[in-house]
Amino acid sequence: MTDPIFVVEPGGALHGRARVPGDKSISHRAIMFGSLAEGVTTITGFLEGEDCLATLKAFRAMGVHIDGPEEGRVVVQGVGLHGLRAPDGPLDMGNSGTSMRLMSGILAGQAFDVVLTGDASLTLRPMRRVTEPLARMGARIGSTARGTAPLRIGGGQQLTGIDYELPMASAQVKSCLLLAGLYAEGVTRITEPAPTRDHTERMLEGFSYPVTREGDRTVAVTGGGRLTGTEIDVPADISSAAFFLVGASIAPGSDLVLEHVGVNPTRTGVIDILRLMGADIKMLNPRLAGGEPVADLRVRHAPLRGIRIPGNLVPLAIDEFPALFVAAACAEGETVLTGAEELRVKESDRIQVMADGLTALGIAAAPTPDGIVIRGGALSGGTVDSRGDHRIAMSFAIAALRAKSSIRIRDCANVRTSFPGFATLARNAGLAIRELA
């Protein structure tokens, strides 16, 4: 794989209408649930990024017939909860933590042994957060001595439902255990310290599997049911829209409409935070698509101010913080984030890598163990290293809208994991971006 570099010229504004690619979280789950359902599932708006394709290839390797993707359309011939077959070798999850963690829950309930592996970045990410509760359910699952992939999962184990309180707010861990709960005897009940994205719960209900919600932090499933094939319309990904929400907010003269964006209330932390900073974002034409709330988002330039980010919004914007750090760099005053230690174990240590990049561009950015303090100022140009992290690469590209000179971003190959065509869409909206091989 080539290692592309983004070169972005300073200034400009974002205009017009744009539709970012389909939601990554929902695309992953649509393939998983469609494969485990009885009957046919038709998916439209599927994200054809490398992460979601890794999930699709894994189910093909386990005997599921999948047509597509073709212009975002995928047709899955479900095999039922117990119809998967042993793959010929390890399942490679690439760079996708969602695939690794959710698949471990599904595979813990299968009759066959399997190995889950991934790229150099994924095999450094912590997996004990799923292996330990799965072992409590009766799974036979092993990792490296550091608690990282590859994961070796033994088949033929009878799982038993558990009551589990998550030590951290994590939709991936919650989803992993709910999926294992489909194969378990009795009830699997998960309680979170704070609400996280609920795509798994919504999609289980969309596939006619009963889900019990107890307040806004506890969810339960009972094993032994069945999933029924359905139609899934994947909305545009708010995590991808976030770069353009920030870009239009910080660039004078901007007026941009982002179409058909998923606005699930467990995902709109980025909008809430930007509005607290003074952003002008309006939701137009709210509607439902496949059980998920969507809307068109109109965002216009507005002067931003630094804030102390409320703790309750942190889990609802965890993937959007690299872009929000750019907003903070362009805001008047100081922005303080705490309670976000999860950012240190994403595709990179996003706190440290963003702090390094912002500092290189002349911004005062002081990392803390669980967050960062950013004082708004003038962005210079220069070179930053994304450390192979797609969200960091795209965040610094958007920062050029307010930079004094060009920004050069290294190691951008992984942008294609979540946002294929980012440079083209951004260029069409008004960003002066070039991609160099």
Q: Is the peptide bond before 10 cis (omega within 30 degrees of 0)?
A: no
Helix-then-strand count for the chain, H and E: 13, 25
Q: Tell me if residue 319 is catalytic.
A: yes
Q: Residue 238 carries which side chain, given as an amino acid letter? A: I
Q: CA angle, corner 418, sides to 354 and 220, nearest 5? A: 95
Closest CA to 39 of 71, 68, 65, 69: 65
**Is 259 in contact with 236 (CB distance < 8 Å)?**
yes
Name residues whose C-beta falls within 8 Å of residue 70's C-beta, 6 or more positions apart in sequence.
none
Q: In which residue are the tokens 């194969």 written?
A: 183
**Beta strand pairing status for 15-18 and 38-44?**
unpaired
Instruction: Choose among 150, 154, 152: nearest CA to 118.
Output: 150
Sorted by sequence, the CB contacts under 8 Å of residue 278 that are 6+ apart come out as 302, 303, 304, 305, 331
User: Which neighbouring-strand residues pair with 434?
Assistant: 7
User: Given the DSSP bridges, would you call strands 159-160 and 140-142 parallel, antiparallel or unpaired?
Assistant: unpaired
Closest alpha carbon to 36 in 100, 80, 97, 98: 80
| Active-site option among 92, 319, 385, 411 | 319
Residue numbers annotated as active site: 319
